[in-house]
Amino acid sequence: MTIRGTADEVQLAALTKILDDYCEQAGMEGSHPARQHLARRLIALFSGGIDSPDDIRMALDGIAKDWKPTGTNSHGL
């Protein structure tokens, strides 16, 4: 049994996978500045009792919208 807001090794592995998958899908690979921000938010969500992967992803969507690439510029680049 874990104390609310703490993660055992299985939960930590699941949270890491959620973050890795989310960042990859959002184009935030490697050392993208948003990755640490999202990781801190993910831990805060988990510590607050949100442990469903879908709920975490939805919450990250709201945070990540400011970091995601907007696509091409007016010159098609």
- The answer to whether 43 touches 19, Cβ cutoff 8 Å, is no
pLDDT band at 40 (very low <50, low <70, confident <90, very high): very high
pLDDT at position 29 is: 75
pLDDT of residue 1: 40
Q: Between the CA of residue 33 and those of 27, 36, 63, what are the distances in Å?
A: 12, 6, 13
Which amino acid type is present at position 69?
Answer: P
In terms of pTM, does the model score above 0.75? no
d(CA 49, CA 20): 21
Average pLDDT, the chain: 80
Contact 35, 23 (CB under 8 A): yes
